[in-house]
């Protein structure tokens, strides 16, 4: 998400609907993972033979089922974190404060807001993209009110991001979101992870929606080759026909030697852990608008929705049980 490159892979049909027992996030969880040797590139997991899979037992370490506003419990921050030299006040307003509230390199056309944020000013604007109803969090992107366009750095949309950087991070384990994936021109929802030390890559894109391609879900790994500093990416797209209208689980299991992507807790792709995955990673969920590089999103135009919501039932993390 931070720097989305072209994916390697193709589109194919994954699980069609979530099973009833997938709605919850139990304290204990068991996943099935392939045991076959891995090559240097990612690959799809197709028509699995039960004899070629092993069970991985996990226990829950993080859980938010969004019964309350996400900014009430100190689990989430509504912006990217800065370094030690970044003054605390700069997160909440003033010239340059948009630096931690969008990723301009991607060509994004939104700014991430929250009720405390003041844009170019230091007085809170009271804008809240986060709504909770019946245990569902909606991150809503909407066109910037004309009267606030200048104070919000002339961004076309206001939207929201939640990150656990410096609040929760974990090395290895399973990370999962249960959500509906919104669509529309310029719509770019994502659930992803970065290294807690602030470096990039590595990056694990657990779920990205291509707004102009309903039901198209991308799952990708990014890493850097130390000798050349070249960025490498490998991943696949999966077709989930009702992704925009039904809740599905999207997850990744990070083991010392293998990264496995899951849809509705069924393994769909895997990759040998690339170089550079040595630090704990934190979770990010956001709804961006507009993209320069991520195909199938496009730039905001007159056909883009005036408002669009990324509906999230829960986000959970699990750690691998010791044997």
> CA 215 to CA 15: how far, in whole Å?
12
> CA 306 to CA 142: how far, in whole Å?
6
Selected catalytic residue, list 108, 156, 176, 208: 208
Q: Is 156 a catalytic residue?
A: no
> CA 35 to CA 49: how far, in whole Å?
11
Q: What is the DSSP letter of 196?
A: T
Which residues does 178 contact at the CB level (< 8 Å), separation at least 6? 18, 22, 23, 25, 247, 248, 249, 250, 312, 313, 314, 315
Give yes or no for a contact between 222 and 3, defined as CB atoms under 8 angstroms apart: yes
Q: Is 203 a catalytic residue?
A: yes
Which residues does 288 contact at the CB level (< 8 Å), separation at least 6? 1, 102, 103, 106, 108, 110, 159, 188, 189, 190
Which residues does 20 contact at the CB level (< 8 Å), separation at least 6? none
Active site residues: 203, 208
């Amino acid at each position: 998400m931070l720097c989305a490159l072209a994916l390697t892979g193709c589109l194919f049909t994954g699980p069609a609907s979530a099973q009833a027992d997938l709605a919850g996030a139990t304290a204990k969880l068991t996943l099935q993972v392939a045991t076959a040797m891995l090559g240097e590139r990612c690959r799809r997991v197709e028509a699995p033979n039960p004899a070629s899979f092993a069970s991985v037992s996990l226990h829950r370490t993080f859980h938010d089922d969004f019964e309350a506003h996400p900014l009430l419990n100190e689990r989430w921050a509504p912006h990217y974190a800065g370094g030690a030299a970044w003054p605390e006040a700069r997160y909440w307003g003033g010239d340059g404060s948009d630096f931690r509230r969008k990723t301009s390199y991607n060509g994004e056309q939104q700014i991430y807001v929250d009720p405390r944020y003041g844009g170019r000013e230091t007085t809170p604007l009271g804008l809240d993209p986060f709504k909770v109803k019946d245990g569902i969090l909606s991150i809503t992107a909407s066109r910037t009110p004309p009267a606030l366009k200048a104070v919000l750095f002339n961004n076309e949309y206001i939207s929201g991001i939640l990150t656990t950087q410096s609040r929760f991070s974990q090395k290895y384990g399973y990370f999962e979101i249960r959500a509906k994936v919104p669509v529309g021109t310029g719509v770019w929802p994502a659930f992803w992870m970065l290294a807690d030390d602030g470096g990039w890559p590595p990056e694990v894109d657990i779920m990205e929606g291509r707004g102009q391609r309903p039901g198209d879900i991308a799952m990708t790994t990014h890493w850097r080759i130390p000798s050349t500093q070249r960025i490498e990416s490998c991943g696949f797209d999966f077709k989930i026909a009702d992704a925009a209208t039904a809740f599905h689980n999207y997850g990744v299991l990070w083991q010392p030697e293998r990264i496995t992507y899951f849809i509705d807790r069924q393994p769909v792709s895997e990759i040998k852990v690339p170089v550079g995955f040595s630090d704990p990673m934190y979770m990010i969920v956001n709804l961006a608008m507009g993209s320069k590089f991520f195909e199938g999103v496009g730039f905001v135009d007159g056909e883009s929705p005036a408002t669009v919501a990324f509906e999230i039932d829960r986000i959970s993390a699990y750690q691998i049980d010791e044997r």
